[in-house]
Chains A and B, each alone.
Chain A
Amino acid sequence: MLNSWKLKEIVLMSLFGVVFGIIYLLFIHLGNIWAGLIGPIAYEWMFGIWFIVSIICMHIIRKPGAAFLPETLAAIIEVMLGNAVGPRLILSGVIQGLGAEAAFAVTRYRHFNIFVFMLAGIGAAVFSFIYGYFVSGYAALDPSFVALMFTLRVLSGAIIAGIGGKYIGDALLATGSLRGYAIAKPAARDANA
């Protein structure tokens, strides 16, 4: 999978992983204090933040793996920075990355428009929720409360990660620093995206 990747794309992913790793950690700590007040549902509406690096990197690089790998790298870097969520972050990073990757794989890496990005955000939300259901024991909660959590997470994935990721990617393209990447080459078949 990595043979078609240029080194600069991999280093780019990793540096984005660092920037977003810090942001992710910041929000975990915010979320934790918040969660003390209103319980685990505190995380749900802002869950999309944790999926965003997948969408930004896929928007820029447009190669198979560009959603899964950066999320995983960001998680590894979060663990390297040292935090109390620890190694299980890598597992959740892998799962969230796979969720986002699934959406791009389903569309065969051909379309990179806002709908696919939102779908990727939803994919990450669904995958991470299934994992969270198991690890955090949501089975013990009232099904309607769990349904509310799920809806919030899916919406957050679609809006914060999908729309937000596209917005950041487009803003970056406007700075002109992405000239050597797939995002800057307008593909004829996806010109209207």
Chain B
Amino acid sequence: MRNLLHDMNPSIKFITVTIAMLGLAFFFNPWTPLLFFFSIIVLQLCCSRMDWKIWSLFMLPFAFGAFGYLWTTIVFAAETGGTVIWSAFGFDVTDEQWALALSLSFRVLAFSSLSLLFALTTDPVRFVMSLMQQLKLSPKLAYGVLVGYQFLPVLKDEFFQIQQAHRLRGAAVEKYWWQRLLGVRRIIIPMLAGAVRKAERAAFAMEARGFTGEPRKEYYQPVSLKLKDFGLASAILTLVIASSIAGAMLSA
């Protein structure tokens, strides 16, 4: 039971999460996204081995973002109908505005919870394998992505190497974060040049070992597609529908 979300077919999970998100975008009442946010948390409590510490860490910046939406929508709202419920700093906030603002910021939270559901329960390599096997992503692209993914630690080492080389030659040490951000410019060109050479070598090596990029019928590690994947997908979509109906009723 607690492995359900982890074992779900990644492509089906991806499609479900995307549909759920697009569905939620149609609702402008505060209850629908809020209810959905909590129902996703409940779903994760019973169907996954979520590490809640990591979950909160990822959620934190989005909580900030949601707050930004809240006050932007209040200050720059399109409609000014409804009755004024409170005024501050020279702004009159009407109940309609307040509901809309809450709705958009809860939407940010709902989207983030949905995304974390995907991100924290999906194995990246299995996701790409599944894209290739179920959604017919071209093997050339799929293995290309996997090569890039495997190069990640190498690129990280290279980043530090270039940085150290710059320091060795007496390039100014960046004290502040914004200086470091501008300094990225000096690092990115050698990084990309290195990436070009690595790409060339990797592609030669793949072709030398007989990689043609032709679609296959059989795979070394098949990603299964079972009935329970569809079951879980419809459960998530039911949550979307249920929270939109409940949301519409609560705000009516």
The chain A residues found within 8 Å of chain B, CB to CB, are 2, 5-8, 10-19, 23, 29, 32-33, 35-42, 56, 69, 73, 76-77, 79-88, 90-91, 134-137, 139-143, 145, 168, 171-172, 175, 177-178, 180
Contacts and interface: CB of A to CB of B under 8 A. Distances in A.
B164 to A, nearest CB: 18
Contact of B148 (A41, A42, A73): A73
Nearest to B64: A36
Given A11-B202, A42-B68, A87-B17, A80 B149 contact: yes
Interface string B99-138: 0100110010001101111111000110110010000001
A39 B124 contact: no
B149 A77 contact: yes
A85 B35 CA distance: 19
A41 B58 CA distance: 22
Contacts of B42: none
B244 to A, nearest CB: 15
B191 A19 contact: yes
Contacts of B213: 2, 7
Contact of A41 (B72, B116, B128, B204): B72
Contacts of A56: 192
Nearest to A180: B200
Contacts of B144: 7, 10-11, 13-14, 73
Contacts of B202: 11
A13 to B, nearest CB: 7
Interface residues of B, number: 73
Interface string B175-207: 000000000100011111101111110111011
Contacts of B64: 32-33, 35-36
Interface string B129-171: 0010000001011001101110110010000000000000000
24 contacts: A8-B203, A11-B147, A14-B144, A14-B145, A15-B196, A29-B61, A32-B62, A38-B68, A39-B68, A40-B72, A41-B72, A73-B144, A76-B145, A79-B118, A79-B124, A82-B120, A84-B115, A84-B119, A86-B112, A87-B17, A137-B104, A141-B72, A175-B189, A178-B196
Contact of A15 (B111, B195, B211): B195
B147 to A, nearest CB: 5
B142 to A, nearest CB: 9
Contacts of B9: none
B115 A32 contact: no
Contacts of B138: 2
B65 interface: yes
Nearest 7 CB-CB pairings of A with B:
A86-B115, A39-B72, A36-B64, A14-B148, A8-B203, A80-B124, A12-B199
Nearest to A5: B140
A84 B195 contact: no
A34 B3 CA distance: 36
A24 B27 CA distance: 29
Contact of B141 (A33, A73, A145): A73
Contacts of B85: none
Contacts of B211: 7
A56 B28 CA distance: 38
B245 interface: no
A135 B21 contact: yes
Nearest to B97: A140
A142 B147 contact: no
Contacts of B46: none
